[in-house]
Amino acid sequence: MAVTQEQVADSMYEMIKEYQGKKKFKASDLTKAMIEKYGEEEVDKKLCKTAIRSLMDSGRCVYTYFGGSFIEIPHEEGAAGGGQS
């Protein structure tokens, strides 16, 4: 059974969500993890790249830069729940 781009994107999102605040992932880290999870026969770098692009385009994840590019879930801004009184 072929792994779809959506399945790979969902797996990446869950991995990022699970480690949020503990670890930052580079695109290459996510690619390696997905190849390890699904196997080289099912997932390649091209599929992972399109899955990452879909995460960015949908707004589920964003690129951040801190001495390198990392993929994270967008942070809620401090004023999201209303202003300070």
Taking each continuous run of H as one helix and of E as one strand, the counts in the chain are: 3, 2
Whole-model pTM? 0.86
d(CA 85, CA 80): 14
Q: What residues does 62 pair with on adjacent strands?
A: 72
Domains of the chain listed by start with CATH number = 5-72 (1.10.10.10)
pLDDT at 85: 41
pLDDT of residue 2: 84
Q: Model confidence over 17-73: pLDDT tens digits?
A: 999 999 999 999 999 999 999 999 999 999 999 999 999 999 999 999 989 999 999
Average pLDDT for 5-11? 97
From the number of C-beta atoms within 10 Å of its C-beta (0-12, 13-18, 19+), residue 47 rates as buried
